[in-house]
Amino acid sequence: MKSIVIHAPKDLRIEEQDIPQPGPGQVLVRLSAGGICGSDLHYYNHGGFGAVRLKEPMVLGHEVAGHIESLGEGVESLSTGQLVAVSPSRPCGNCRFCVEGLRNQCLNMRFYGSAMPFPHIQGAFSEYLVADVEQCADATGLTAGEAAMAEPLAVCLHATRHAGEMLGKRVLVTGCGPIGLLCILAARRAGAAEIVATDLTDFTLQMAASNGADRVINMGTSADDLKAYEADKGYFDVLFECTGAAPALAGGINAMRPRGVIVQLGLGGDMQVPVQTMTAKELQFRGSFRFHEEFFMGVELMRKGLIDVKPLITQTVPLAEAESGFELASDRSCAMKTQIDFRAVS
């Protein structure tokens, strides 16, 4: 089988590997679609992010869906040919955080395509993938591309839960990449009354406007439009900060009303935070990292037609052209979510 392996920045290779076999309680999935995530792009463009660096070749990818090829011993809840979204979240179930129900904080997490530990956790961008039954969500009725969006959607559903009560809230989203747009969709589904989104490119802002934002602001050309929301101690109840950039966070904080909630999703390294302003406004800062049970919730929302992710999938390339897919995904002037079709022939 073919796998997409990163060796160093800009050194992406399609390599032959052995087809794995499922054990008891596992299934073999023939991959159909895989979405290129921001973390995949960090490995491709920079060899990592922050203190996380590639130390050995690693299969990339964690946003995947495919059809079950074969069943391991004892598997009765799934069937061959069934389309499943595969959660990359594999907590150990035994550490103190798993026991407390904080499985996204597992001390022994095995998350596909992660260079955080060494040896690295190999990713899911292979033609065939062995998955535990517990990782597989029935995606019947969805396209493979939609099913592969379950992972980023789960990230945003987890963040929305952290934000608390959303009904009637005024929401600011900073950063209109896939996570920002999915936060818009999730916030609207949770009852947000008004959503304003900021970014630096017209393409991403147009995507935000067409996917639920009431107003969009280009911070490169119209930053004063956001400053207008700073009057009378601020306007927004909730901030989803999706860039990981200090200026975006600071600008968002200035536009927050007292006792608002900041949910930080963007991972861009350590940032300076205007603590004095946060203290004076009594703002709550809440980090949001990964997800667990929200993965299955997201698949159900998509299957019921309550959240539509199709407009976010802007490009699909065959496996043989994976590198061109990574280049496309890096271009924020035309790409929102670029996916790889693992069953297409170039």
pLDDT in tens, 186-212: 999 999 999 999 999 999 999 999 999
Domains held by the chain: number = 2
CATH number at residue 73: 3.90.180.10
What stretches in the chain show pLDDT beneath 70? 269, 345-346
Place of tokens 């963007």: 266
CATH number at residue 227: 3.40.50.720
- Domain of 246? 154-287
pLDDT tens digits for range 239-268: 999 999 899 999 999 999 999 999 999 987
Do 145 and 162 share a domain, yes or no?
Answer: no
Residue 119 inside a domain? The answer is: yes
Residue 314: per-residue pLDDT: 97
Helix (H) or strand (E) holding 285: strand 284-287
Do 283 and 333 share a domain, yes or no?
Answer: no
Do 30 and 133 share a domain, yes or no?
Answer: yes
pTM, 2 dp? 0.95
Residue 301 inside a domain? The answer is: no
Which tokens is 312 given? 């976010």
Distance from C-alpha of 216 to C-alpha of 209, rounded to nearest angstrom:
6
Residue 270: per-residue pLDDT: 76
203-229 residues labelled b (16+ CB within 10 A) or e (exposed)? bbbebbeebbbbebbbbeeeeeebeeb
Whether the CB-CB separation of 58 and 120 falls below 8 Å is answered with yes
Do 72 and 31 share a domain, yes or no?
Answer: yes
Do 237 and 135 share a domain, yes or no?
Answer: no
Residue 304 inside a domain? The answer is: no
Whether the CB-CB separation of 9 and 44 falls below 8 Å is answered with yes
Distance from C-alpha of 343 to C-alpha of 346, rounded to nearest angstrom:
10
Do 145 and 270 share a domain, yes or no?
Answer: no
Do 121 and 15 share a domain, yes or no?
Answer: yes
Do 229 and 318 share a domain, yes or no?
Answer: no
Do 133 and 17 share a domain, yes or no?
Answer: yes
Do 9 and 143 share a domain, yes or no?
Answer: yes
**DSSP-H helix ranges across the chain:** 38-46, 96-99, 144-147, 150-163, 178-189, 202-210, 224-227, 246-254, 275-281, 294-303, 322-329
